[in-house]
């Protein structure tokens, strides 16, 4: 007798970049109020989502990425943690991918927002990656540890959610945290500074055997809106003008270079290319590939 299907198979998808294996690990999704979408009339944003057969308010997926390079394992971002029923699936998907938390020797952070740092430590402040060194951009560490921007946040709940929780999660890695400004931060992985969304927001370029993949962090939160209209910003952008300028510059570059990309909030499995389309762009998801390679022909 067949059983009733109640869930998906694991949110795990592998992609080879030369000798490196990058694994997309889905953490779940969040439904977020449309008031967080700026730079576009709300009714137009809602109409664009409906035209794309998406729910309103916006449904934003959350992905993390594991990188296996030689004998080493890095994780990029840690997802939300079990903040609500629809998120916190990183741990289960990491296990499904055959990676034990103690095997992760490096955690690279794109930036310190709750949907990226939430899964670093549990509510008691215990690090969930017991052997990992935590690495992030120096400007990112400095901003979230600076009391001046923290005290500008009037709402105490919001202040705790962003600044308080960022500090608490990072404290679990106090003795094994290091910052970077650029350069190689893991074998085959170099930093691409992408400031604006947050001051130290960083992407990571994975390069091996003549292939490359840019994991661009939060360059896009709502692909149905921001890919065709890069001017659309988010209420959580620390510097919306800079976020928009960074997105435009990066879009221009990855489209011209035919650069393979991946993103934390692109629909799972989140591997794609970007193509110019009139005044905007369009996203072309990678085709399913049994040999794990997803490169478009040069
Ligand atoms: Zn995010």
What digits encode the pLDDT tens for the residues 146-194?
A: 999 999 999 999 999 999 999 999 999 999 999 999 999 999 999 999 9
Tell me the CA–centroid distance for residue 283 and ligand 1, in Å: 19
Tell me the CA–centroid distance for residue 106 and ligand 1, in Å: 20
Residues 59 and 30 sit within 8 Å (Cβ to Cβ): yes
Tell me the CA–centroid distance for residue 160 and ligand 1, in Å: 17
Q: Work out the angle at residue 208's Cα, subtended by the Cα atoms of residues 98 and 92, and round it to the nearest 5 degrees.
A: 20
Specify the pLDDT at position 292: 79
Tell me the CA–centroid distance for residue 265 and ligand 1, in Å: 7
- Dist CA 252 CA 181 (whole Å): 23
**Mean local confidence (pLDDT), 258-282:** 96
Specify the pLDDT at position 298: 41
Tell me the CA–centroid distance for residue 154 and ligand 1, in Å: 22
Tell me the CA–centroid distance for residue 225 and ligand 1, in Å: 16
What digits encode the pLDDT tens for the residues 47-86?
A: 999 999 999 999 999 999 999 999 999 999 999 999 999 9
DSSP string over 19-52: TEEEEEEEEEEEEE-GGGEESS-HHHHHHHHHHT
pLDDT over 70 for what percent of the chain? 98
What digits encode the pLDDT tens for the residues 192-205?
A: 999 999 999 999 99
Tell me the CA–centroid distance for residue 186 and ligand 1, in Å: 22
Answer yes or no: is pLDDT of 93 > 70. yes
Specify the pLDDT at position 264: 98
Tell me the CA–centroid distance for residue 297 and ligand 1, in Å: 30
pLDDT band at 279 (very low <50, low <70, confident <90, very high): confident
Tell me the CA–centroid distance for residue 238 and ligand 1, in Å: 12
- Dist CA 157 CA 175 (whole Å): 28
Among the ranges given (98-112, 123-137, 193-207, 279-293), the one the predictor scored with the smallest mean pLDDT? 279-293
Answer yes or no: is pLDDT of 296 > 60. no
Tell me the CA–centroid distance for residue 296 and ligand 1, in Å: 27
**Mean local confidence (pLDDT), 251-260:** 98
Answer yes or no: is pLDDT of 208 > 70. yes
CA nearest neighbour of 249 among 182, 193, 206, 185: 193
Tell me the CA–centroid distance for residue 165 and ligand 1, in Å: 15
Specify the pLDDT at position 295: 57
Tell me the CA–centroid distance for residue 116 and ligand 1, in Å: 6
Q: Quick one: CA torsion of 270, 196, 55, 14, rounded to 10 degrees?
A: 10
Q: Work out the angle at residue 156's Cα, subtended by the Cα atoms of residues 153 and 159, and round it to the nearest 5 degrees.
A: 50
Tell me the CA–centroid distance for residue 40 and ligand 1, in Å: 20
């Amino acid at each position: 007798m067949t059983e009733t299907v109640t869930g998906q198979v694991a949110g795990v998808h592998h992609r080879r970049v030369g000798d490196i294996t990058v694994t997309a690990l889905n953490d779940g999704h969040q439904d977020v109020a449309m008031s967080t979408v700026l730079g576009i009339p709300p009714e137009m944003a809602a109409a664009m989502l409906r035209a794309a057969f998406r729910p309103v308010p916006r449904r934003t997926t959350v992905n993390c990425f594991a990188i296996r390079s030689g004998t080493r394992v890095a994780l990029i971002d840690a997802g939300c943690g079990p903040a609500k029923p629809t998120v916190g699936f990183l741990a289960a998907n990491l296990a499904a991918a055959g990676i034990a938390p103690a095997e992760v020797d490096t955690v690279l952070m794109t930036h310190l927002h709750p949907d990226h740092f939430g899964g670093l430590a549990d509510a008691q402040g215990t690090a969930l990656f017991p052997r990992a060194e935590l690495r992030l951009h120096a400007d990112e560490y400095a901003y979230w540890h600076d009391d001046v921007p923290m005290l500008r946040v009037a709402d105490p709940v919001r202040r705790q959610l962003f600044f308080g929780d960022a500090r608490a999660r990072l404290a679990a890695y106090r003795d094994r945290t290091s910052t970077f400004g650029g350069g190689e931060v893991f074998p085959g992985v170099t930093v691409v500074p992408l400031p604006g969304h947050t001051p130290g927001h960083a992407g990571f370029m994975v390069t091996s055997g003549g292939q490359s993949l840019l994991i661009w962090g939060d360059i896009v939160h709502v692909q149905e809106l921001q890919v065709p209209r890069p001017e659309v910003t988010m209420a959580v952008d620390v510097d919306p003008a800079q976020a928009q300028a960074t997105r435009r510059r990066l879009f221009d570059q990855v489209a011209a270079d035919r650069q393979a990309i991946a993103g934390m909030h692109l629909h799972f499995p989140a591997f794609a290319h970007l193509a110019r389309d009139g005044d905007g762009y369009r996203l072309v998801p990678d085709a399913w590939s049994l040999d794990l390679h997803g490169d478009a022909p040069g």
